[in-house]
Chains A and B, each alone.
Chain A
Amino acid sequence: MTHTLHRIEVKTDLKADFIFLCTPANGINSRGATPKLLRILEILQDVGPVNMGFYGSREERISMESMKERLHDNSRLRCLFDSRSKMTEVLRRIKDEDAGLSIAVTGSLPEVLAVAREAGLTPHTANLSLGVFGKTELLPPDEIMEVTTMCGHGMISFNLVRETFEFVRKGLMTVEEAMVKLDQPCTCGIVNSGRIREILEQLIRDSGTSFDGGETDGRQDIPSGDFN
């Protein structure tokens, strides 16, 4: 699916938002892919993504060593870089490795094309977000969606963002605690906590802003258990 796509820019932009995806093509080049995936994972580890998860993990986060042990031929690698130079370095090194596995990068189109150019690559295919349509009146304000769309699987609920924003605004939660809380539901490890920090810091500067005060289904004033 397209879980890395459709991020929106409201208070922050996508200039420091690069999602790396390595995908063995099922039935085409997936057989025997494990050592290649391992090598690519080592390159990723060496360059250092700011976030990374692992499919099938029900734990909050697993270690890089555990990821290496669990790799199999159909594993997919996904992680987030917040630096254009690091993203370029990863692509350059994978190109030199000549592993033959498909690599994609999701981000702002001009930025991603620039990264490809700097890494000496010729992009093959693009998947362009055209936006959201249909009954859009059901959606919350864009400021909330800027966070929820960081998990394309939809695991970060509108109410979690609404509640977390309110806790930070009221001083019941620190920015760092909020960053952890909003990252946890996304097991793919592609949430950009740096962008969440920026959003929250703007929220604090603009104190008094209420993020629509919408319903939280019966527990409007009940603080989360972690912060009682």
Chain B
Amino acid sequence: MSVSIDIDHVVKRYGDNTVVKGLSLHVKPGEFFTLLGPSGCGKTTLLRMIIGFNSIEEGEIRLNGKRINDVPVEKRNMGMVFQNYAIFPHMTVRDNVAFGLQMRGAGKGDIEKRVDDILKIVKIDHLKDRMPAALSGGQQQRVALARAIVIQPEVLLMDEPLSNLDAKLRVEMRNAIKKIQRHIHITTVYVTHDQEEALAVSDRIAVMNNGVIQQIGTPQNIYKRPFNTFVAGFIGLSNFLDAKLQKDGNAHTLHFKDGYNVTMDNLDESAKDGESVIVSVRPEEFSIVPAGERGISAVVESSVFLGIATHYFMKSDDGNNLEVIQYQGEGSHLPDGTAVSLQLKSGRINVFHSDSAETMIEGGHNGTN
């Protein structure tokens, strides 16, 4: 019963401004698919093209292979959760949720039963007769979700649904959303600019920038093996270091400015001898060793203690600002001013061509589409 969505070379223009530039992707039946990107990247525009609020200038969108470009919104049978929830302020919770069923001409008893069921699923059945103004942000969010899924839509669309909630509620709600989505097994497209949220809820993520998809992959895949420097910088924290690549037969070595070098065994054939590269290093991909040992020399400038780890802000001898994580039990606390050496965990770091900004890690091109 779950449907697939095919987005096939779609284009959206506003006047001369092309917001979505011939974008294609495939969402599998029952999948929780996230469009992730900075504001203005075209992700909400794409979502509104799927439901039909925005016209499609070129290309087509198919549901289970059927073209839906010209189907009006109210006939598409898609549920949408809006950024500001868009709860009807003049209707009770029950009436809000029942609205879509009434539009479909469902019978009174049927409506009542389905509304009750769905309110139980989203855990607000005790608030049935409240007016929206008397609900908290999280409760309103649940109403919006219930209203969208009670019509048993083929597709559930969510536009930054958690951006108006406070941090703690956001975590609670994203777990709830994921759980409910699993429970009803509905194909879902979720839009967010919050990378942590995307990693937490998604089966797969499409990272977008400037109307173009940068990478599509599982959360693990995108975090560990970003396709380009944009993805590396946008998802999680990355330190970018310049290096020169040396190639001896099949062996690759990265040479950093102050003489430190790292041997790599997972670069593909696009890596060329003598090429300039950008190395991206997550804060946890450094090993802190005493000063003077082999590594990048750096000095601790300040630190933040976060419980499970300590976050160090360091400056390398060649002037780079670096963020380094030391997990609890990995060593003693380093006071400000401590000189250290930083070694890289060669199996985990990512290397990009400095001209194209694309990865040269073996298999790193998988999942770009």
Asked if A and B bind, the verdict is no
Instruction: Tell me the B residues contacting A by CB distance below 8 Å.
Output: none
